[in-house]
Structure 1
Amino acid sequence: MTVTKFLHASFLVSDLASAREFYEGVLGLAPSSQRPEMAFEGVWYEIGAQQIHLLALPNPDLVSGRPGHGGRDRHIALAVDDMEQMKRTLDQARIPYSMSRSGRPALFCRDPDGNAVELVAAPST
């Protein structure tokens, strides 16, 4: 048996509208039409062959007390094609972020529910 690929990551969100403002308005993701009807609200985003699933369900984890730097917390990492523009977008939206402590061109921020997101400068091709 071999794991062959990564399919999706799910985040629990308390306010789907606020979460969508972050994922769609700030990160620029488009909702997927692939999400089937479920017993709870949510939205899926397709990024290449992978997806992010937002689930509007109660969160059993503590949101307070999480590490200040998202790189020291569980997180997903997304590649961005223009890191300077992403910083400006986060600044305009008043979303705090911290730069990667490894020196890589990457930053960490959090969505409205405290889920950590790493944004990494995509290598130039």
Structure 2
Amino acid sequence: MKRIFLLIAMLGTLFTINAQSLQGVLKGVEAGNAAVIAQNIADNVILTLSDKSDTYNKKEAEAQLKDFFAKNKVSSFETKHKGASPNGSFAVGTLKTAKGNYRVNIFMKNDAKGEMIKELRFVLLE
């Protein structure tokens, strides 16, 4: 019985940590703040910005995001859906900018450093 309770407590803590990491990333997207987002980027991340997709290291990804947000001033961000599992979490939302609206997909995965962004997509909606 103690083992079951301990397992439930550990999973609850893990989901709370995941939610906090994801929430920080969502706030970074809403603010158009690449530095806040970069705090949770894995050593290598798949980053899609409009029609350009590539794998970047953490510093390169932050630079790409800074450039994206400089060219696309954020007016609002709305989270449409989010979820979590023991392995990580995800979120989908709509980013409204002066130059258009983007579908945002965030995929995070647990690793030795905690929950980190493994894939981040900003796809222009038409």
TM-score greater than 0.5 by the shorter chain: no
**Structure ranking higher in helix proportion:** 2
**Structure ranking higher in strand proportion:** 2
Normalization by structure 1: what TM-score? Answer: 0.28
